[in-house]
Amino acid sequence: LSYALLLGGDQPTSKTASVAETKTANAPAPAIKKTAPVPAPAPAPKLAPTPAPKKAAPAPAPAPAPAADDDDDDDWFAEDDDEEEKPKEVNEALEKAKKAAMEKLAKKEAKQRSLCALEIKPWSTEQDLMELFKKVKKTVVREGLVWSENCELRPVAFGLKKIALTAVINQTISMDEIIEEITEDILPDEVQSMELLSMSLL
């Protein structure tokens, strides 16, 4: 027996191995655990299309810088002289224009004439009013003053009358001064009062 074991010692081992292989082959396969399906990712929200940026208007081209003038850099005093002379020339031109306008206005005013309506009251009823009228015309003489050719006698009260006359004067004569001169200096004893009733341009 021990000889047999020595000779065939490897056989039982082979049989044991084959039995083991058979059991292994017949053994059921281990169950595979089923994993839950992975949910698909949600679709990303669609973004509204971004409007294309508006093109900015092209900036205006800068104006070319004026060329440097070499004379201006060197001649500072000459430039100051020009600036001083220009206002002087302007002032002289304005003065001449103003003077010419004033002379024109003076000539125009000198040609303008006014018609004055006047009344002269004597002191008493015994005075000769026609003679008084002639004396006024003869005594009071001015350049630019023209007395009327005739006069009108109008009653005042109690037999007293007054002289109604007219006179034409230019703008250089003041009728108020003439009235004051007649009543206070020239004929104060014959003229009680003298009044300017109206004045109108001719």
What average pLDDT does range 42-66 have in this prediction?
57
The pLDDT value given to residue 82: 56
Confidence class for position 121, pLDDT limits 50, 70, 90 = very high
For residue 61, pLDDT over 90 is answered with no
What average pLDDT does range 145-150 have in this prediction?
94
pLDDT in tens, 68-91: 555 555 555 555 555 566 677 778
Terminal CA-CA length for the chain? 183
Closest among 167, 170, 188, 171 to 118, alpha carbons compared: 167
Burial classification of residue 120, based on how many CB atoms lie within 10 Å of its CB (0-12 exposed, 13-18 middle, 19 or more buried):
buried
**38: helix, strand or coil:** coil
| % of the chain beyond a pLDDT of 90 | 40
pTM of the full structure: 0.48
